[in-house]
Amino acid sequence: MEISDTLNPKQREAVLHTEGPLLILAGAGSGKTRVLTHRIACLIEEKGVNPWNILAITFTNKAAGEMRERVDSLVKSGAGSVWVSTFHSLCVRILRRFIEYLGYENNFSIYDADDQKTLMKQVIKKLNLDPKQYRERPMMSIISSAKNELIDTETFRKKSGGDWKLGKAADVYEAYQAELKKNNALDFDDLIFKTVDLFRVNAEVLDYYRERFRYIMVDEYQDTNTAQFELIALLAGKYGNLCVVGDDDQSIYKFRGADIGNILNFEETFPGTKVIKLEQNYRSTAHILDAANAVICNNKGRKQKTLWTANEDGPLVMFRQYGQAYEEAEGIVRDMLAQGRNLRDFAVLYRTNAQSRLLEEKCISYNIPYRLVGGVNFYQRREIKDILCYLKTIANGRDDLAVQRIINVPKRGIGASSIGKVMEWAGRQETSFYEGCVHAASIPGMGKAAGKIQGFVSQIQDFARRNQAWELGIRQEEDVPQNRRYGLEGLIRDILEETGYRSELQAEGEEEAKARLENIDELINKAASYCAENEEPSLNGFLEEVSLVADVDRMDDSQDRVTLMTLHSAKGLEFPVVYLSGMEDGLFPSSMSIMSDDPTDIEEERRLCYVGITRARERLTMTAARMRMSKGETRYSKVSRFVEEIPGDLVDTMSPGARANANASSNARYEEKKFDGRQFKPQTVVGGRTPGFGKEFTIQKASALEYGAGDRVRHGRFGDGTVQSVTDGARDFEVAVEFDRFGVKKMFASIAKLEKL
């Protein structure tokens, strides 16, 4: 392979330096993924390295997928043997093979945050601790921090030093880990923690992977914590061919345990390190980049570098200060509409999740479709959790949380008293809850419940046999066509039908129940895709994949929607137009960082601002409000110090008088704006303000509608769709429409202005 002419000199240098430790300081938008993928291709086709001796690690499935696609396009053959993985996926693969050395079975479950919280609640109750003093989330945070620092239960207790409260936390940590092991389960932090533990206790396993991964590359190295650092250091300990790519100016996950010292001290940790800086930015305009440099240069704890670009200057950075927060949200929405661009071009970024409420309300008011990143994860929805717990029980009967969730879902008439007896019996026998269900008939006092529990167990065993037969490649029926062989989608459908889950939802007959069934259908689609995309699909493999999915991984860029997300979630993404909202001291930077005695806290906030600025490719607007409600009180704020750090000649601002004139002109334009060939007007509301949730519209109800359920209609923004229902409300008709591109939307008829086709 010839090194691509599209690489700049520094990128080319990084690609060709293949031996020994290498630190690539890659500024925002400097083409680091291009460097990594070309480096992998160079190793294989120029240096003759076996593809299976290369490991590339990143932080998200989305980034790993993009890297995999680029490697496949560059390398003629063998690219599929390169391990391109997230930290957690890598560790799962290792543990599935060797976790028996740590006393677990290889069909272990992976607990998500909800599972952890449920288990922690049980542990606190079991230890007879006051749940008001020992709440689940703080205890989970303490344990997570310990695992990220590779502190086991024994070391944690020693570090408590006789402190009574820390001693109780040690009790919780020990009991929590004991319950996890009893359930043959690991939480997210365990995946890396246990892999490091495995390498430390078993030299043969460590040497096997050192030989396997002779060339290691790590993306986003500034976000690594102690456990991840140790994992990489152990793997690279034999050959030393470790290449890390990162940007200390984008280290924003201290609250998750990320240690910026890992990248700042890399040269000291790995002697002989070659350092290459990628400073040419290909993403943003010059004005946006200059603003980013002006902010971040105020940090002291950083490696010196200055981003530059050959791109055009572009428009100045906009700054708009509004009187109140709701005016800020409306100003952002109106500004987006005035630009006449595709909605997918826009992203509104904010410091805290709470800021999304007003933005969502304004998007709804103006009928603007949006995606909220960081909302309820698809896999956390009730119906999806139910089905996944069935699958977990089939795969790992020792997972008490999964079994207890579904034993009476759908309703089987198994009461809490009977479940309690099974739990007591299992506790006395020191076995799993599921094993207690298997022996329910021999538990005293079970009565008729024993038969119902046995029916549940029989179903699970039957499902497990079918899954095992499928995984062994045995066809269920000779006359079933090849393309309809039993698989995970078939297993899920059988669960839905044979347990009565689908019929119970259908019996509810509500719109919410229908939406839940649609979500389950999407899970079936996911299962089918997983089976099609993997050479050796398995139930455990599917459960691993869905357990490691993040919100960012599920973003659908093809839909024309505005993106609303926190600054932390925006890391690694880019958009043509970005709004940084809430640029106020006390909000961003946060009041805690301002009052902190640790100067690194405010520096992390500044890095977060730098990340937000550099998400923008073409236009950047910063907004603030003089007054904002916080915890039920009105708070007055001054403009963020980060805005003031940007030189005035880079910022476009308006005086209050100029803004009033501009708003008047803008209102006139909005009233007459043509929107996809239809007249568009903002909603008229009580007091002249667009309403929040629960407030009333001032609208004129039509005497009748020209369309009804089943009719095809057209909407100015959402396009064509089918009317599902029309409800005659007191003030207006409420119409539910399933749009061809945007799914089901509910709206008031007088505002929607639907046109019958």
Contacts of 138 (CB under 8 A, 6+ apart): none
> In whole angstroms, how far apart are CA 45 and each of 41, 75, 537, 740?
6, 7, 30, 46
Beta strands in 476-591, from DSSP E residues, in sequence order? 562-566, 575-580
Report the DSSP beta bridge partners of residue 341: none
Residue 514 designated active-site: no
Residue 250 designated active-site: yes
CA dihedral 105, 106, 111, 117 (to 10 degrees): 10
Contacts of 55 (CB under 8 A, 6+ apart): 82, 83, 85, 90, 212, 213, 215, 216, 217, 235
Q: Which of 115, 187, 190, 219 is catalytic?
A: 219
Beta strands in 663-718, from DSSP E residues, in sequence order? 674-675, 678-679, 712-715
Q: Which of 222, 250, 459, 623 is catalytic?
A: 250
Binning the chain into helix, strand and coil, the percentages to the nearest 5 are 50, 15, 35
Residue 32 designated active-site: yes
Yes or no: say if 189 and 149 are a contact pair by the CB < 8 Å rule: no
Residue 195 designated active-site: no
Residue 13 designated active-site: no
Q: Which of 12, 13, 18, 33 is catalytic?
A: 33
Q: Which of 112, 136, 187, 220 is catalytic?
A: 220
Residue (of 87, 225, 42, 110) closest to 540 by Cα position: 110
Q: Are strands 109-111 and 562-566 parallel, antiparallel or unpaired?
A: unpaired
d(CA 193, CA 95): 11
Residue 745 designated active-site: no
Yes or no: say if 616 and 29 are a contact pair by the CB < 8 Å rule: no
Q: Which of 62, 70, 362, 615 is catalytic?
A: 615
d(CA 350, CA 334): 18
Yes or no: say if 728 and 739 are a contact pair by the CB < 8 Å rule: no
Yes or no: say if 247 and 28 are a contact pair by the CB < 8 Å rule: yes
**Taking the chain, what is the end-to-end CA distance rounded to the nearest angstrom?**
56
Phi-psi region of 705 (alpha: psi -120 to 50; beta: other; left: phi over 0): beta
Residue with tokens 């539910």: 736
Q: Are strands 562-566 and 370-372 parallel, antiparallel or unpaired?
A: parallel
d(CA 336, CA 100): 56
Yes or no: say if 211 and 52 are a contact pair by the CB < 8 Å rule: no
The residues annotated with a catalytic role in the active site are 32-33, 219-220, 250, 615
